[in-house]
Amino acid sequence: MNTQILSKSHKIRIAIGVGINLIIAAIHAFRIGSYLHNPWYTLYYSYASDIMLPFGVYFLLCINEIQFKVLRPWYIKAGIIFGAMTFSEILQYFEIYFFGVTFDLMDIAAYATGTMMAVVVDRLIFRKFIIDWNYE
């Protein structure tokens, strides 16, 4: 067991990263989209997860920045997430199913949207308003 004492910055990142992912899990568990009506219902079930999942994974990677310094630049995290999600979408085109079963170019746009939303929240909002968010 690792007995290292967590820094205040790391504790904040853990709380925020876990909190964001719990909210995303709750949105899926409580099937928020079932309360919507067309065209919102169709849009939600087609693309909401494709936006929310990269957003959540970005903040899971933020938790690990202290152990893996390579993850500290935002563009590394964004590249890993967007690359993995896009790769899985390309596999769907070739009927190799990993994260889904239907190839859709709009899914790739949704992955980019979710990833960039996470970058904006990380770099412009959390960096400005959460004092201990940065490791520098």
Closest CA relative to residue 72, chosen from 3, 28, 1, 13? 13
Q: Is residue 63 part of a domain?
A: yes
What domain range is 80 assigned to?
8-129
Using the 8-state DSSP alphabet, how is residue 99 labeled? S
pLDDT (tens, 9 = 90+) of the chain, 136 residues, equals 454 678 888 899 999 999 999 999 999 999 999 999 989 999 999 999 999 999 999 999 999 988 899 999 999 999 999 999 999 999 999 999 887 889 999 999 999 999 999 999 999 999 999 988 887 6
Q: Is residue 3 part of a domain?
A: no
pTM (global) more than 0.85? yes
Number of Cβ within a 10 Å radius of residue 13: 25
Q: Is residue 121 part of a domain?
A: yes
Count of domains observed in the chain = 1
